Structure 1
Amino acid sequence: MTIASPEQATDLHALDVVKIDLAERSYPILIGQGESLWQQALTLLPKGTSAVIVTNETVAPLYSQALRQRLLAHYPRVLEVVLPDGEQYKNWETLNQVFDVLLAHAADRKTVLFALGGGVIGDMTGFAAASYMRGVPFVQVPTTLLAQVDSSVGGKTAINHPLGKNMIGAFYQPKLVVCDLDTLKTLPPAELSAGLGEVIKYGPIYDMAFFDWLEANVERLVAQDVDALRYAVRRSCEIKAAVVSADETESGLREILNFGHTFGHAIEAGKGYGAWLHGHAVAAGMVLASLLSTKLGYVQDAQFHPRLVTLLQRAGLPVQAPVLDTHNNAQRYLDLMRVDKKSQGGAIRFVVLKPAGKAVTEKVDDATVAELLNAHL
């Protein structure tokens, strides 16, 4: 799909559509604001006997009632599940609260789930939809920048395990993704910066021209300039759509979307889920992944790493990974990273740049990684 340049994106009521092309599982991502967005979205909703809004205690007071009113015109019954807010609740116990409501109200296979919230809500709602009666339709309504540019797109659903992040889940595509940019107005600064961490990754792995644009416009993004945010969301979704359409189940190309995530997931698990926001952990992980790419000789542009670090700092993101074990920090990282979906036969595989603008996944021996961690943490 051809996307308007950021200079052309001046109509605040414009609606952009990015398509995930997966044959019979294809679906659109709608990006816009307010009623013009929802008028189109309501025409694309899957038919059903009931709608169930799954949200959390933070988002529900802000957006649940408006979504409920919209859905009441399309579904005979609209239910709501309000979950606790936070990464630490992305587990079996919380997931079962969704099933409890579905079963208590005799929800059938024509029930449509609506994920109203950030990445945690989207992941758990998708996993619930994949599991309930072996599969019911769901719609993503992401309300955070991170969810709009990453977690709501592509059908990866999961919960966490104490030993590993997102290790229990399923690939299950939504029927529709509705990105309402108005919801970003209520994001706290930390949540906005966490989303920018996922936005920034798309440059080094796929499109250095986008990286250049981010360097020129990061202050506009931090200030929540609507035109800048729309372009960043749209371009991020376009890149992810291209990757997911080529590799739905992360058997090859899609792994590049995990740039910085192997280190980042270790930070989240090692510090305790919720202690670090996901986008913050990914940002610190990208710094380490960039250093690893340089150490392996894949990135020879001496300016790239400092450019990345500076951009992350300007976005309000941490660039220094934490110490997870004061006695043997490198080994603690290695142990946590070995419980990673990309690991094979006990060997840790990392997304590295080869060079900046193109990413690959490669096995890296423990000694090399330990040497890197010992030198920089």
Structure 2
Amino acid sequence: MRVAFFVNSIEDETPNFSTTALALAALGRGHEICYVTPSDFVLRADDSLSVWGRTLPVSSYKKTETLHKDLVGDKAETRMFDISEIDVLFLRNDPSLDANDRPWAANIGVIFGRMAAQRGTLVVNDPDGLAQAQNKLYFQDFPASVRPTTLISKNIKEIRDFIDGQKKGAIVKPLQGSGGKNVFKVASPKDANLNQIFEAVSGEGYLIAQAYMPEATEGDVRFFMMNGRPLMRDGKYAAFRRVPAKGEIRSNVHVGGGPAPVEVTDTMLAIAETVRPKLIQDGMFLVGLDIVGDKVLEINVFTPGGLNNLSQMYDTNFAETVITALEEKVAIRQAYGQRLANRELATL
């Protein structure tokens, strides 16, 4: 099969990205891959959909570093594919990275992903489901039992009143965003920096204020789910702890958070079971839950990262399990055609 990975840009890809691990796994199983960016779609006058894809030379890649070097170097070439030549379109972009500088690009994956699905290509995660998840407000549709106490507002008085009701303080962050950008811990509504924090964060739109959970000092757990269930391979769960760097409240790896092995608990599995119906309903094939204590802080449905960390930590190739699942879906699509809707097939 041919798998197209939709990303924000080729230049911003790295060997450590989960997308690179997935591409390596696909090539390792004998499939063809290409990379697609927001400017690569073409809808012609006859209603045919094509895409320019950056392809790699036929090679037996063993390391993500080698694959990435060829991807960004002169060994890769760009060619056009009719969308019927793409078996799987894997949407792996982060819309928030394009929201300010390239707002036209932020929703392109969802828009053209929907068109690709209508023409018979398997698109994961389902574009209609992703359309509902353009910001963190999507998380509020999940059961209240797994969500921390939360306020969403642009009103400073509302935010002060909320923080005043949280004995252990609150976390304030933008509604639209990712990667731990502009995330602050506020101890009380009298915090001298609150006005500055409000000005910095509210400039990006609505704010989220969440009750602070002391367990977060130990970091959060990135817990992968596939087809609505915990991602497993060789009896191991695809989960790891992201430990904050000293002096940091954020556990994101790119701001110094360190990955560490974690033992999956009954509480984590109960959380996974609670969110499962909504993930299946929305066609969310591969997602990452960020868990602290008995709550989920965020659900990453666009670009859940950490597959490379997992591979090194547990000596287990979870990326290959993801590709195997896609193979099964493509086989089902070939057998049943369009009788199965994309959203149904995405989490089957």
Q: TM-score range by the shorter chain?
A: under 0.3
Higher strand share: 2
TM-score, structure 2 length as denominator?
0.26
RCO (CA 8 Å, sep 6+): is it higher in 1 or 2? 2
TM-score, structure 1 length as denominator?
0.24
Higher helix share: 1
